Structure 1
Amino acid sequence: MIETHPLIAMVHAVPTGARVAQDAFAQEFPEARLWNLLDDRLLDDARAAGGIDGALRRRMLRLIAHAVDGGARGVLLTCSSYGEVADAARTLWDVPILKADEAMFRAALAGRHDRIAVVASTPVAVPAAVAQLRALATGAEPGHPIRIATALSEEAADAGDPGEAARHLADALSDAGIADAPAVLLAQYSLAPAGPALAELLGVPVLDGARAAARELRGRFAGGPPATPATAP
């Protein structure tokens, strides 16, 4: 049965993720009722612990449990740090629990491109995104090899507006020789506002995790289309 106004919990580690995700749902899934849960100590505590240790995993799972126990019909984990607990969470609860970028990766892979570019403004975001994308690509299209190229623009992190950030990202993609890739993926939620301007600059589809997640959840709950292939800007 279609749920027209499902309660979607969004679990964040930084306030920026909350703002970007809310904007994405306003555009792609306005029917959803949103519930924002923020643990703004997570990243600091993870750095102090040298990574996500057992105590932090349990804390993250408790926050997801709080969302589900509170009636959430779907959960979006907007920080990639939550990715490693998502699989465990799925064995405990039967509601959809999405990692930050997996809907974006599925949408990109649905386009069956032979090349995909991943761009970020912080170095640590690149290997995490590439690892997840390669894992999904291997499982979804074992006979369809995909070349994944990356670019980094730390200047984009300090840009004054989305247009400036888009120009920095476009320059980084051009310098890496991949500005003509059939699809470009933004490896961080914080870059999502630059997506439309970057797509206009490059003339290729630019995907971000927040909008892709909103589209995928809308497809599951409100009878809308599932995550769409990246075939047009």
Structure 2
Amino acid sequence: MIESKPLIAMIHAVPAAHRIAHEAFAQEFPQATVWNVLDDRLLVDANAAGGLTDALRRRMLRLIGHVLDGGAQGLLLTCSSYGEVVDTARALWDVPVLKSDESMFKAALAGPYRRVAVVASVPPAVPAAVAQLEALIPAVRPNRPVDIVTALSEDAAGATDPATAARHLAEALQAADGTDVDAVLLAQYSLTPARDALAALLGVPVLDGAGAAARELRGLLLPAEQPAAPAPAVTP
């Protein structure tokens, strides 16, 4: 039986994701006890190697094993670049293990959106996010096509405030012919602070992964207490 305050582990590759995910769980899943594990070389080493290597996959699996052996009843990987390791973890452990943006993608595909944009500020996040989104289409949305646009703004990674990050992302979307999308999906937790400002610039819903993941884990572990999911943020 799941305890009333389930232990949820989160493995982070960047410090900013720790704060953002923690805030999302405090709002969406306050019953959870959160355990944060940070390896701030995960993304740096993946970038240097040009992607995930076998050694990096094994390293992530060791971290996953560490928290699950420590009693975690649910796990969220907040780095999209390591999402593929979750498939292996699910085969090894009988505990809910979520990829960073999986819940957000499922919510987007279940919605009415016909054209969506995936935006990021670091190059590895783009193909990793698109791969996750496309892999979910047959199960979540088999009979309705969806057009996916991608936009990368490395300038957004260096922005000093959310409004500036949002402006850089909007400019990247414009350059990618993505201004006529029905929704925007943030491929990194570090972009979450720019969500509302980007929605204001574009006038469409902007979805983030942290809140969606918190809601899904709450529904899996405390189904009797699961409220209706709130609508995504959008400009009035």
TM-score, normalising length from structure 1?
Answer: 0.89
8 Å contact kept, 2:110–2:141: no
Matched, 1:82 2:78: no
Q: How does 1:1-233 map to 2 (within 5 A)?
A: 3-47=3-47, 51-222=51-222, 223-225=225-227
- The structure-2 alpha-carbon separation of the partners of 1:47 and 1:169, relative to structure 1 and needing over 3 Å to count, comes to closer
Contact 1:107 1:227 (8 Å CA) reproduced: no
Report the alpha carbon displacement of residue 98 of structure 1 after superposing the two structures with TM.
0.3
CA contact (8 A) 2:81 2:128 kept: no
Counterpart residue identity of residue 52, structure 1: L
CA distance in 2, matches of 1:92, 1:12: 20
Residues 20, 168 of structure 1: CA spacing in aligned structure 2 closer, same or farther, 3 A cutoff?
same
Deviation at 1:232, TM superposition (A): 5.5
Unaligned ranges ≥5, structure 2: none
Deviation, structure 1 residue 94 = 1.2
Structure 1's 162 and 232: CA in aligned 2 closer, same or farther, altered over 3 A? closer
Please give the alpha-carbon distance, in whole angstroms, between the structure 1 residues aligned to 2:215 and 2:158. 29
**In 1, are the aligned partners of 2:7 and 2:71 still within 8 Å (CA)?**
yes
Q: C-alpha offsets along residues 79-123 of structure 1, whole Å, 9 cap, x if unaligned?
A: 123212111111111110001111110111110321111111223
TM-score computed with the length of structure 2 as normaliser: 0.88
Cα displacement (A) at 1:25: 1.3
Listed as ranges, the gaps of 5+ residues in structure 1 are: none
Aligned residues: 233
Instruction: Tell me how far 1:48 sits from its aligned partner.
Output: 5.3
Aligned residue identity for 2:37: L
Q: Aligned-pair RMSD on alpha carbons? A: 2.2
8 A contact 1:108–1:230 mirrored in 2? no
Moved more, 75-84 or 46-55: 46-55
Post-superposition CA distance 1:103-156 (Å, at most 9, x none): 110111110321111111223322221121111113322221110012222221
